[in-house]
Structure 1
Amino acid sequence: MTTIRAVLFDFSGTLFRLEQDETWLTDLTDHEGERLDIEAQAELMRRMTAPVGQVVDLDPDHLHAWHNRDRDPGLHRKVYLEVLRQSGVPRPEQAAALYERLIDPGQWTPYPDTETVLKSAAEKGLKVGVLSNIAFDIRPAFTQRGWDTHVDEFVLSYEVGAIKPELEIFRKAVGSLGVRAEETLMVGDSEEADGGARALGCEFALVDPLPTTERPDALLAALRAHELL
């Protein structure tokens, strides 16, 4: 069997999760001026973080933006403001303020084992990359914690012009780490997007994008299952 020499981690739902912060949502009001209830708040967050799948009905212009949102920050902002509008946040100033929080990497919560898995993989001599369909720079989420020292490469869709599951983005990620696809494990929360790495020859480990309090060690378990830790 080929030896695994590198690990690629997805970001959202894998290493970090955007979790509901009640302080963001308490002042949001719907079309009737009523505050959003708890169920509406939870659905709003689900729609803003779904890795694949269209979450609201969109006109052709916004549909184009949806399909290309992770290639272009302008399109990302455009379509998610529309998602917010259709999800019960009709006031533009409220939607814009919430959107800015959603794209602030400092607002994202790491999973309990994120630091350990990054550090352990690096100490084992594995090349470590973060590969994300994303339209904003997530590096600050790592640098502010000192975790960037454990990551060799960040491959972000809006910077490279390709998105998972397109093979080009996996090729760029593998190439940036200086390994072959067969020597690489991709860890992610989406069978459709992250699992696309298998078409290039990578191994793949699926993790569940549960709330961070409900998933203490899935990253470590994924690497242990491949005998990397």
Structure 2
Amino acid sequence: MAEMTVRAALFDFSGTLFRLEEDDSWFTGIEVHSREIDGHVQAELLRRLTAPTGRTVKMTPEADHAWVNRDLAPHLHREAYLHVLRESGLADHHAEQLYRRVIDPSSWTPYPDTAEVLACLHRQGIKTAVVSNIAFDVRPAFAAVGADSDVDEFVLSYEVGATKPSPEIFTTALSRLGVDASDAVMIGDSDEADGGARDVGCRFLLVDPLPTEQRPTGLRDALADIGIKV
């Protein structure tokens, strides 16, 4: 991929900088359809809780409304994901227990190169923003790995009232950073959601939301493709 002048890098959160990865302790005592959960079921539940687009269970009209708008308001996010968990076979109290894990920033695992990539970009004078469809504050996850001071802006859907792929969330990020779209790149794991940045004039780099241990240099490699060494 050709080199470009980059003044700003926009990053997705889930599946790009951090990943929600199963911890057996989260599922202690939880059953699905009255059966104990194995590793495959754990992984499928977390996939349903983190899939950036699409629907993973049947939706009532009310649940669908909550799902479509889940990243704009915490109460709709809760309603939508509790519906997903109940439809997946969890009892109400188990659904609540697992949902609390999802919205706890300490539950999220950083990719191995996340902190260093953000630090390197900061040292090079390249501005950064986290642009996420999300309904809870992810800043503590960055603080936990010492990366919060290396992110210039957190542009979270529930705080700005817009979700990817809508142009508004990207233009908000660019405006806050004071950078033109032609000088910015968006890095994310969803061509549909994150790729919306192309519509406002940004370059887009797609990364694979693999388990963190399987993607040690995904962010570095993506940026290297456009001539940014981190």
TM band (smaller chain) = over 0.9
Q: Does 1:103 align with 2:103?
A: yes
Q: For residue 66 of structure 2, what is the amino acid of its counterpart?
A: A
Q: Residues of 1 paired with 2:35 and 2:223: CA distance?
A: 47
Q: Provide the residue aligned with 2:145 in structure 1.
A: 145
TM-score by length of 2: 0.96
Counterparts of 1:120-135 in structure 2, within 5 Å, are: 120-135=120-135
Q: Does 1:58 align with 2:20?
A: no
Q: Residues of 1 paired with 2:224 and 2:41: CA distance?
A: 38
Q: How many residues were matched structurally?
A: 227
Q: For residue 12 of structure 2, what is the amino acid of its counterpart?
A: D
Give the direction of change, closer, same or farther, for the CA distance of 1:180–1:216 in structure 2 (3 Å limit): same
* Residues 2 and 182 in structure 1, CA contact (< 8 A), matched pair in contact too: no
Q: Provide the residue aligned with 2:84 in structure 1.
A: 83
TM-score by length of 1: 0.96
Unaligned runs of 5+ in 2: none
Judge which range, 144-153 or 213-222, deviates more: 144-153
Q: For residue 101 of structure 2, what is the amino acid of its counterpart?
A: R
Q: Provide the residue aligned with 2:29 in structure 1.
A: 27
Q: Provide the residue aligned with 1:45 in structure 2.
A: 46
Deviation digits for residues 67-126 of structure 1, max 9, x if unmatched?
Answer: 00001110000010010001121x211111110111101110000000111011111110
* Residues 115 and 146 in structure 2, CA contact (< 8 A), matched pair in contact too: no
Q: For residue 44 of structure 2, what is the amino acid of its counterpart?
A: E
CA positional deviation for 1:38: 2.5
Q: Residues of 2 paired with 1:153 and 1:102: CA distance?
A: 23
Deviation digits for residues 145-180 of structure 1, max 9, x if unmatched?
Answer: 221111100000000000000000000011110000
Q: For residue 75 of structure 2, what is the amino acid of its counterpart?
A: G
State the percentage of identical aligned residues: 56
Deviation digits for residues 49-70 of structure 1, max 9, x if unmatched?
Answer: 1011111110101001000000
CA positional deviation for 1:2: 6.0
Counterparts of 1:1-229 in structure 2, within 5 Å, are: 3-31=5-33, 33-89=34-90, 91-229=91-229
* Residues 4 and 227 in structure 2, CA contact (< 8 A), matched pair in contact too: no
